[in-house]
Amino acid sequence: MKFTELSDYPFRPGLLTEWRAVPATDPGALSDDPRPPSYLQEAHLRHAVRDREVHIRAPTWLATVFELPGTVDPVALRAALRHWIGRHETLRSTFRHTRGELRRRTLAPEDVSVRPAVVGHIADGAEIARHLDDLFDRATDPLDWPSYAFATIAHADSTTVCLAFDHLNVDGYSVLLVAHEIQTLYAAEISGTPVALGEVGSYVDFGSAERIQAAALGGDHPTVRRWRDFLGAGDGLPRFPVEVRSGPGEPAWQSGRCEWLLSSEEAAAAETACRAGRGSLFTAVLAAAALAGNELSGAPVFRTLIPFHTRSKTWWAASLGWYIGLAPLELSVPEHGGFGDLVRGAGRAAREIRPMAKVPFARVCELLGTPLRPRFVLSYMDLRATPGSERWPEWNARACYARVASRDEVYLWINRTHEGVYATCRYPSSGHAAEHVPRYVDLIRRILGTVAVTGDLTTGTPVPVAV
């Protein structure tokens, strides 16, 4: 399943219908809930409050798009969506901002309904994408409920389903779970058979537990000390290896890029080589990113932020929520020595920093007494064990993200699926970024491709890269 902007999805003409969650009977059914927001949610909500006060709306939604077979049965789909919202408590919860405080309110599963509204037939795929972009920008406000919206486009042979959620409700992995769950629930409604899905934990409960644990930490906690040392050694949070800032003025819309790095066969070959060299494809990606950064900048030390999931209990494995922690990665590129040394060094570094992701980044900022904004983030996920992943091509499934305005952020997501390994990135659309970021991704592709072709991590010099 690729991760792109919505405008890159190949929408076909069809009958467009919008679907919104609503209280089943009483509009006031949202009841007070003492459970606090997670640290990520609170930071996100307070940023949204500040934006609203100055009349800024900066959408931060994530979405998934896929196809159901045949002409949709609206009664069955409505029931499936209602069942699905009932499974995930974060979709039934919202926050009220009153006198500086964030107060949670939550709906019971039986108090949720779903209401369709037919928009009409749209004959142009690009117009459908523009309509959905506008709908999701308007309907995913984290300070309102629901902070998500759905749409369907009915065709003669299938129905395209689109679901978008403000980041408050989901992380990048959560949206990858949606297609399988909706397909399963819809098929059960059509056939009248029991639903073959296990129960899931609540992200609302996760946030409460996280608060209790993180509140007990102080400034002398080892993770906080390591963050302090990392920030001091590199003059703050890391930036992309070369300057990409687009210049003065208001932040501009960023560019997006998604391309394959390795085929499934190449990924398997690279993985075999990495295992033989006491590494993994994940650590090879980190090493390739470090070597590519060295090629661009000449800097001997590579620094970035790495997201790790925080789904520490089995009942959160398939739960919708923002289960992400950040950790700081620093890798030295050896002047002498092979790529295998760098891969093994990346493995040691990843193992050392992974526990740091358990401490919420917002809590780290609190304890350090300074606000911090990530500017260069590198993510890697192996998605082959994700429920339904083997059927993503059949479903034409895609994950999407809202357009972002920023002068200096570079985010790179490298994901492995059954089809291979691809990279998605967003970066400033002007200045040096338009040259350097695509070149950086191409360098990573060439390095990993060389590993796949040669099957060798033991060479005495870094893997040769054609520039």
Cβ burial of 423 (10 Å; 0-12, 13-18, 19+) is: buried
DSSP-derived secondary structure for 30-49: -EEE-PPPPHHHHHHHHHHH
Q: What is the pLDDT of residue 99?
A: 84
CATH superfamily of 217-387+403-454: Nonribosomal peptide synthetase, condensation domain (3.30.559.30)
pLDDT in tens, 371-413: 999 999 999 999 999 999 999 999 999 999 999 999 999 999 9
pLDDT at 462 over 80: no
Q: What is the pLDDT of residue 464?
A: 45
Cβ burial of 109 (10 Å; 0-12, 13-18, 19+) is: middle
Q: Are the CB atoms for 356 and 222 separated by under 8 Å?
A: no
| Token pair recorded at residue 3 | 């991760």
31-33, strands of its sheet edge to edge: 31-33, 101-106, 93-98
pLDDT in tens, 126-157: 999 999 999 999 999 999 999 999 999 999 99
pLDDT in tens, 270-288: 999 999 999 999 999 999 9
- Report the predicted TM-score, pTM, of the whole model to 2 decimal places: 0.95
Q: What is the pLDDT of residue 467?
A: 38
What's the pLDDT band for 456 if we cut at 50, 70, 90?
confident
- Beta-carbon contacts of residue 300 (< 8 Å; ≥ 6 apart): 294, 332, 333, 335
pLDDT at 100 over 80: yes
Mean pLDDT in residue range 59-83: 96
CATH topology of domain 2-206: Chloramphenicol Acetyltransferase (3.30.559)
Q: Fold match between 2-206 and 217-387+403-454?
A: yes
Q: What is the pLDDT of residue 338?
A: 82
Residue in the block written with tokens 């009248």: 192
Angle between helix axes 339-353 and 281-297 (nearest 10 degrees) is 110
pLDDT in tens, 335-372: 876 899 999 999 999 999 999 999 999 999 999 999 99
Pick the closest to residue 7 from 119, 162, 127 (CA basis): 127
Q: What is the pLDDT of residue 235?
A: 84
Q: What is the pLDDT of residue 337?
A: 66
SS3 255: strand
Pick the closest to residue 102 from 113, 94, 90 (CA basis): 94
pLDDT at 459 over 90: no
pLDDT at 318 over 60: yes
Q: Are the CB atoms for 419 and 31 separated by under 8 Å?
A: no
SS3 149: strand
Where in the chain are the domains?
2-206, 217-387+403-454
Mean residue pLDDT of the chain comes to 94
